[in-house]
Amino acid sequence: MTILGIGGAFGHDPAAALLMDGRLVAAAEEERFLREKHAFGKPAIQAGKFVLEMAGIHPSDVDLVAFPFSPDTQTRQRSAFARRMWTHDPVRSVRAYTEHGRKIRKRRNYLRDTLRGIGIPETAPIREVDHHLAHASSAFHLSGWETAAILSIDGAGGYTATLVAEGRPDGSIHEIASILEPDSLGHYFAGITEYLGFLPNDGEFKVMGMAPYGDPSRVDLGFALRVGNGGYRVEDGYWWVPRRQRSGDLHCSRKLVQQLGPARVGDECLEPYIHIAAAAQRQLEAVAVHLLEHHLAGVLSRNGGRLCVSGGCALNVKMNQVLLEHPLVNEIFVQPVANDAGSAMGAATYAAWERGDRVEAMRHLYLGPEFSDAEISAVLAKQSLPHSRPDSITETVAQLLAEGKICAWFQGRMEFGPRALGNRSILANPSVPGMTDEINLQIKFREKWRPFCPSVLHTQSAEVLGSTHPAPYMILAFDAAEGVRTLIREAVHIDGSIRPQVVDPAANPRYHALLHRFHELTGVPAVINTSLNRRGEPMICRPEEALDMFRGSGLHYLALGDHLVTKQ
């Protein structure tokens, strides 16, 4: 069966994913085609057209469209949501009834407009999948496991903010507990993100990166978020309050600013904001552990300690590290496209399971567009930049990295999701002092305190991570092994942690060959790997965009397929 998943039901991160007989064949975010980060409010038309083209099929060949929004779930939860919302924002409580039908029509109209833009016939069958069920499926059904405990921690989908569930041997996902808005960890962390001067639904990872510079014991945020009795409560009157209660243009209240002080501005990593970031990070970890211990201890004991995690908060790699290190957990699969872009994939996998397809485990995320040598050569022929075609692009780039040069690496199919995994990357030698400052300030144009991640050879991963746990997607953090902290110091964060991508030759042969040759030349088992983009931009998709960035940044080398572009 050919199933097209369409994401973007809640106004951000629209994406498309295509499953054919249970196998994920293509997926991409709309932002990569529009060049608008997160593509707020945009339909996933270009992404949808791409996945069909990549599979070589016509829109009429789609058997089923899966959409991660269920009006049935929203209707069922409406009364409980309205009761809880009454003390938080009475107007929103009333609107749960007065605007219920309009909100459903809005999301169905979004899907209709998307399908019309792609060319999908209006008669195509549609399966509306509960949003958190889609998130849960994206982790459980793609993990390759028969059973698992499941945590889906998000902003909100419908009215659900958090879902705790069990994945069972028959493939079903059984709900154990759910928590509704406004008690949303995702919205709470987004509010902290905005208070700290970053864009909500975008800068949460910056809060995570800032947190290790602070001391969580210096700030008590318990007045705003309370944990206990198997759940948590986001206290009323502080976050996402009615407009009349807000502090200027922020969604937080004047009461919060009176408690914590003025919101942060600028790019510096300063007190007291580093301590607030640390306290918020500690809260997120504590709530996740509380949910795990209260609801999933029995499930984990039965299934051998396997845990699946998804939802937007699952992009927080430090939270994932805490979960992995918990005594109840032996193995963890975190969906690397855990945000709403991944819900397109999850809706498709859930619909495939329902219809009897055996969903194949996810082996890699190289699911986006690729460009032939002829296409790259045609683009370069129109440019005035010096370029050559060395005998071996991997040998040439390995030599450059060994010499301390920074090189952009544009190869093969673009990655699906927010992490660069060696096809749309900027690479550097992590043993060279000052390398991260140069990339941050002259190439990425971003805050100088932001950390970088290493791509690690799979044969050296235990030596670097001090663990044999799989880590192919930069979605888990580990404490770097003592023996390599100095050797790869530019890829180690201030707290001694790393967020690695362990590279296997089966998933990415060319990138693995590059790392292997670099290791032979230097003895260094990893390279710095950061996404090929500048601050505020989506990851690069096309050769033309790579060349535009090359011109407009401090890059001096770009490996564009088999070609090396230089500024010399």
For residues 316 and 189, what is the distance between their CA atoms, to the nearest angstrom?
Answer: 11
For residues 415 and 368, what is the distance between their CA atoms, to the nearest angstrom?
Answer: 6
Q: Which long-range contacts (CB under 8 A, 24 or more apart) does 161-165 make?
A: 161/185, 161/186, 161/187, 162/132, 162/291, 162/311, 163/132, 163/133, 163/135, 163/136, 163/311, 164/291, 164/295, 164/296, 165/136
User: Token pair of 20, please?
Assistant: 């054919």
**C-alpha distances out from residue 563 to 80, 412, 499, Å:** 59, 13, 30
Q: Which long-range contacts (CB under 8 A, 24 or more apart) does 230-234 make?
A: 230/177, 230/290, 230/291, 230/294, 230/295, 231/177, 231/179, 231/183, 231/291, 232/179, 232/183, 232/185, 232/287, 232/290, 233/183, 234/182, 234/183, 234/184, 234/185, 234/187, 234/188
User: Token pair of 492, please?
Assistant: 């180690």
CA 12 to chain centre: 13
For residues 511 and 502, the answer to whether their CB atoms sit within 8 Å is no
Q: Specify the residue for token string 């590059």.
A: 514
For residues 254 and 247, the answer to whether their CB atoms sit within 8 Å is yes
Which secondary-structure segment (H or E) carries 177?
strand 173-180
Q: Specify the residue for token string 């930069």.
A: 474
* Segments of 344-396 assigned E as strands: 387-388
Classify residue 381 by burial, with Cβ atoms within 10 Å: 0-12, 13-18, 19+.
Answer: exposed
CA atoms within 13 A on the CB side of 357: 23
Burial pattern 26-56, b for ≥16 Cβ within 10 A else e, equals bbbbbbbbbeebbbeebbbbbbbbbbbebbe
Indicate the DSSP class of residue 340.
H
Catalytic residues: 12
3-state secondary structure of 126: strand
User: Token pair of 243, please?
Assistant: 């407009």
Q: Which residues pair with 559 in a beta bridge?
A: 409, 564
